[in-house]
Structure formats: C-alpha cells, structure tokens
Structure 1
Amino acid sequence: MSDLDLIQGSDAWLEARVGSLGASRIAEAVARTKTGWGASRANLMAEMVAERLTGTPADRFTNAAMQWGTEKEPEARAAYEFLTDVDVAVVGIVRHPAIEGTHASPDGLVGGEGLVEIKCPNTATHIDTLLGQKVPEKYVTQMQWQMACTGRRWCDFASYDPRLPEAMRLFVKRVERDDALIATLENDIAAFLAELAEKVTNLRALYCGEERAAA
C-alpha cells in the first residue's frame, strides 16, 4: 500500500508518520519570540527525537473536543462538497518532493489544483471565525505546507459546526498558494530537520556506542 492510500488515523498511517514532520506541526517548528525560537519548537524537536530513536509514535493527548472533530469530519466534508459542488478525494500521506522527513496529510484533494482543510471546532471558536471572516494564522501555515507537499495552487479552509442554524454551520474561505512564504518555510524546516538529525546522531553515538562496548 502506498502512502497516498493509507487511511488517516489507522495504525499503518500512524507508523508511516513516525519521525516525520507533518503540516499540522509546522507552525510549532517555526514559532519565534522576540529573542529567538519559541518553546514549542524545542518541545516538538524532543518529541521527534524520541520517535526517531524508538521508531514508535509519540503518545498525544486526545480530549472530547478533539474526538468531536474527528467524528464530525466526514459530515463536514459532505457539507463542503454540497456547498461547492465538488468531489473531494481522500488521501493518506503526501511527502515533500524535495525535503526528506516532512509530509502533509490534507483532508482532501479538490480537482486538479485544490485542497480542503476541515476543522470542526468548539462553537465559540466557530462563531469567532464566522464573525472574523478570516483563517487563523496557524492554519494558514499548515495549509501552505500542504500546498508545498502536494504542488496544489489553493486550499479551502472549512470550519463546520452542526450545532448552529443551518446557514451558519459551514464557513469556507480560500487561501491561495504563497510561493514566497513557502520558500521561507522550506528554509526553516530544512534547518529544523538538520538539527533534529544531528541530535539523533549524537545521542546514538554517545549511548548506543556505550551499550555496544558494555556488551
């Protein structure tokens, strides 16, 4: 089975992502403060070091809101297809064409040039999106990386909440590919992954070498 054919959320999909930086974590990898890299970058780095050393997926916290989003995603996808009169093709993993160790798992391919990113947030967040009429910045970063991996030209952001009146349940806003932003992200992610690989190499040299010597 190819990466594209993997079912998102399956054991095979989780295993295929081990040690690889996904689009949903790109914002953490490039987070900056006034004085340098943000704490989220160091935490993500440590998590990925552990994944590469052990070969097993990191345990990630799941709460009721996250479970709600997972359960409602097919319903949201169907609503998006109906509203936009398109068919969405579901895929598993798309590796970056030039940078090894990073990937995207978009919520769907749309036609020959598009993607869709689906969120089923809590009602307060959905209402803020309806009123603000814009895509949260962290999702813009995620969507741009999805476009970098897939070569697509645009990505529709879809926020869905069936707990509201029908006219307010689905918000859709298109984000166009930004090649300049993608180039900046690619430089930052390449540096992140090089640092990650160096840490893994150094840890193995320090500790795996000692284990061999003791044996």
Structure 2
Amino acid sequence: MKRNFIVSEHPQNTPEWFADRCGRATGSKAAAITAKVKSGEAATRADYRVQLALERLLVKPCADEFSNDDTDRGHEREPFARMRYEIVTGITVEQCGFVYREDIMAGCSPDGLLEDAGRLGLWEAKCPKSKTHFKYLLEQRVPPTYQNQVLHNMLVTGAEFVDFVSFDPDMPGKLQLFIFRWERDEALIKEYEAELRQFLMEVDATHKQIAAMAA
C-alpha cells in the first residue's frame, strides 16, 4: 500500500508534534480555510492566515490553546471508541503522529490510519454529547461540519476512504457506535484543494509582508 506522505515520529500534543505542525495548514482548521462572508475575508480565515505566517517567521506554534468539556470527553473516550471499532469491524486502527507532504504546506493529524483490502483509509472519531451522537445516527452521513476536514485529510494522505465514527457509551448497547464510510470523491477534493492552495498563497504573501516589516 503506497503512502505519499511523511508521518512524524512524535506523539500527538507533544512539543515536538506542535513544532512539526508550524506554518502548515491542518485539517482541524479546514473550516477556517474555507470560511466565507458576503464581502472581504472572514475573520476566522484572516486570523488563521496570520497565525500560519507568524509560525513560519517565529518557528513556533502561535495558536491559542483550547480545551473544554467536549474536547476532554473526546480525549478520554477515543481509546474506547477505537477498541469498539476494531472489535466490530475487524480492522486495526494504526495510530500515528502528524502527517504531512513535502510538495504543499499542509498536513493533518488523523485519529488513525486504516488498511482494508489493500486500500488506505482514515479513521476519524468523535465522542460527542448524546443528542449530537443521536443526530449522527439519524442522518447517516459525515456531518457537514466535518466534511472539509475529511476532504483535507484525504487530500494530504491520498486515502481512498474515511470511516467516520461516533461513539457514546452512555447510549443503549447497539446505539453506542456509529460508523459511516465515505469513499473518495475526486471532484470535491479538487474543489477543496483549489481553495487550500489559494489560502496558502495568501499565507506566503503575509509571511513576506511581516518579514519585510521586521527587516
């Protein structure tokens, strides 16, 4: 199974892992990259553009640290979601660090890599509140909130599919695990890639502008 990307040897959320990410557009920020307003640039997009430019200049992370009950719940429950998924599907989830390509300033931190019948896939897991988990069960799709993140991660890795997983141990037994497989859609990925490359060009310009000011 061919892999056209580099996997960082550093565990997620370590200082070295954050250093690997510096200046690279990541999947978790795909919504900011594609954010739009009626006129001008969306504030979230502008903030992220400046953040990446500063990271390139300073060679250190410039993102604000963020944690709440939802993120803490996700970190605590993800190992159990992974175990349940592996039991149900028989597919092993390969944990990995930051993943990036050399030909574009972009990377991602997949929750896991998969191999199914010789095909490379991604494992994307969420452990949301029960009402959100139930909504995923009803809709039977990758939630729109995460679609651009999934497209970004598929673009970086070349993955042929994504298994989107939601896990809630508070639900009745057979409703605890939701799995939706999303096959690669080249048209959607190319559409996202065009927006990403335009964004990265603007990051380059902002980096040059800041560097000139500091000279």
Give TM-score, length-normalised by structure 2.
0.89
Secondary structure of the residue aligned to 1:155 is: strand
Which structure is richer in relative contact order (CA contacts within 8 A, separation 6 or more)? Answer: 2
Q: Which residue of 1 aligns with 2:187?
A: 180
Distance 1:80 1:11 in 2: 29
Quick one: which of 85, 108, 122 aligns to 1:104?
Answer: 108
Pairwise CA RMSD of aligned residues?
Answer: 1.7
1:121-153 CA distance string (max 9 Å, x none): 122211211222222113121112211111111
Letter in 1 for 2:123: V
1:38-81 CA distance string (max 9 Å, x none): 33211211222332232222222211211110121111111111
Structure 2 unaligned regions, length at least 5: 1-5
Change (3 A) 1:97 1:80: farther
Distance 2:169 2:181 in 1: 21
Q: Does 1:156 align with 2:163?
A: yes
Q: Which residue of 1 aligns with 2:3?
A: none
Secondary structure of the residue aligned to 1:88 is: coil
Give TM-score, length-normalised by structure 1.
0.89
Q: Which residue of 2 aligns with 1:120?
A: 127
Quick one: which of 22, 27, 42 aligns to 2:31?
Answer: 27
Distance 2:19 2:201 in 1: 22
Secondary structure of the residue aligned to 2:200 is: helix
1:147-175 CA distance string (max 9 Å, x none): 11111110010011111112111100011
Change (3 A) 1:126 1:67: same
Distance 1:71 1:54 in 2: 33
Distance 2:8 2:85 in 1: 22
Larger Rg: 1
The structure that is helix-richer by fraction is 1
1:23: Cα distance to partner? 1.1
Q: Which residue of 1 aligns with 2:209?
A: 202
Residue pair 1:158, 1:173 contacting (<8 A) in 2 also: yes
Distance 1:84 1:109 in 2: 14
Residue pair 1:73, 1:119 contacting (<8 A) in 2 also: yes
Q: Which residue of 1 aligns with 2:99?
A: 94
Q: Which residue of 2 aligns with 1:39?
A: 43
Change (3 A) 1:85 1:138: same
Residue pair 2:8, 2:20 contacting (<8 A) in 1 also: no
| Percent of residue pairs identical | 37
Aligned length: 206
Letter in 1 for 2:143: P
